[in-house]
């Protein structure tokens, strides 16, 4: 096949490209420039997609003997990922920018251009596997559960899966990938994994948002509606947060309180006891299926609400364009804007953005 290898400058994408070459494919490397701040350097393992990463990707491509290009996707990234991130926080939601990047950049914008240029597939260093199922191609978890990235790939559609290539999915551990990179003479063999939000490399999400959303003083209330504090902007709070609440009225039982809800219309933050974070039901309208859609309107599955959370057995109902999931055991600290990925065993069924949550603990 003609393969376009997305090379981030990290060890995973470099080894993935190398394996594509070893498999006999015609491989071309590409690095996505996602920021116009070309002089930015990463700080250790914080951030990614910097000029340093582009240079690391080029060196890896040179080592593999494949053509290499840098494509400027900064405007698309700004519009589809960064602006979406800000808009979601303004709406009182908790977005996942990595999910949006996979959905709208790596497997939409990049894949579209790749197909237009005659490539058969896009290769990435994600840890996930593709399986030929009875009804077509299926997305499955990676062999290494510790590195499994099928959650952040849950946004991929059947058509996109048909043009993807994940060479690392069956690798038992990340240590083996690093050892392979070293044996191949790749300089990124021991480069730290990136973490945090790539466009906020210092990790100060609250400060970054404050600069873009601005101050908007409001009230902090308990579940009964009583005012227990004040804030400078609801965007600075996320469901499940305990620290930094600066409450002026202590709880009657003296126990810590947590953020239960952010209400952007009234600019109000609702707090309450930890047990009130338990969620009995989640629902969302924005959904996709990773392969063939379920044939039944109700089915058993497992639901996962964070990249490294444990899957929880659940019952899903699809009706009137809405996916509703009732877990067998309450989920903890779920916020609108998060992504719920549905599994059956190792297989990813699909995903939806959570619009509504129902607490397992009634008010009163």
| 123 catalytic residue (yes or no) | no
| 198 catalytic residue (yes or no) | yes
| Cα-trace Rg, the chain | 22
Pairwise CA distance, residues 226 & 51, whole Å: 50
Beta-carbon count within 10 A of 320 CB: 6
Q: How far does CA 61 lie from the centroid of its chain?
A: 27
Catalytic residue, chosen from 48, 101, 123, 301, is 101
Q: Which residues are paired to 33 by β-bridges?
A: 72
Bridging pattern class, strands 128-133 and 136-141: antiparallel
Q: Which residues are paired to 128 by β-bridges?
A: 141
Q: Residue 167: which of 355, 18, 324 has the closest Cα?
A: 18
Q: Residue 46: which of 191, 238, 243, 186 has the closest Cα?
A: 191
Catalytic residue, chosen from 48, 49, 123, 198, is 198
With H, G, I as helix, E, B as strand and everything else as coil, classify residue 350: strand
Q: Are 232 and 244 in contact (CB under 8 A)?
A: no
Active-site annotation, residues: 101, 198
């Amino acid at each position: 096949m003609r393969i376009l290898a997305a090379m981030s400058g990290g060890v995973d994408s470099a080894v993935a490209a190398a394996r594509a070459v070893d498999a006999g494919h015609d491989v071309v490397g590409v690095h996505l420039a996602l920021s116009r701040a070309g002089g930015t350097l990463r700080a250790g393992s914080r951030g990614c997609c910097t000029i340093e990463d582009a240079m690391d990707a080029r060196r890896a491509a040179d080592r593999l003997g494949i053509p290499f290009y840098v494509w400027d996707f900064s405007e698309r990234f700004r519009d589809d990922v960064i602006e979406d991130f800000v808009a979601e926080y303004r709406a009182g939601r908790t977005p996942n920018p990595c999910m949006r990047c996979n959905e709208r950049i790596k497997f939409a914008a990049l894949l579209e251009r790749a197909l237009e240029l005659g490539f058969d597939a896009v290769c990435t260093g994600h840890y996930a596997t593709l399986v030929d199922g009875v009804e077509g191609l299926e997305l499955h978890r990676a062999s290494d559960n510790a590195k499994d990235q099928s959650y952040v790939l849950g946004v991929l559609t059947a058509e996109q899966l048909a043009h993807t290539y994940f060479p690392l999915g069956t690798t038992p551990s990340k240590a083996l990938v690093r050892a392979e990179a070293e044996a191949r003479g790749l300089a990124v063999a021991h480069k730290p994994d990136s973490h945090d939000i790539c466009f906020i490399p210092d990790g100060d999400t609250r400060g970054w948002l404050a600069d873009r959303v601005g101050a908007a003083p409001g009230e902090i209330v308990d579940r009964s509606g009583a005012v227990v504090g004040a804030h400078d902007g609801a965007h600075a709070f996320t469901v499940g947060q305990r620290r930094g609440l600066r409450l002026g009225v202590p709880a009657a039982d003296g126990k810590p309180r947590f953020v239960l809800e952010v209400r952007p219309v009234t600019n109000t933050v609702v707090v309450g006891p930890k047990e009130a974070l338990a969620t009995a039901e989640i629902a969302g309208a924005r959904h996709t299926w990773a392969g063939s859609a379920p044939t039944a309107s109700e089915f058993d599955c497992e639901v996962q609400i964070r990249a490294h959370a444990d899957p929880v057995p659940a019952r899903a109902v699809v009706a009137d364009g809405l996916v509703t999931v009732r877990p067998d055991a309450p989920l903890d600290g779920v916020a609108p804007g998060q992504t719920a990925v549905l599994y059956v065993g190792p297989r990813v069924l699909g995903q939806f953005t959570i619009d509504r949550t129902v607490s397992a603990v009634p008010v009163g």
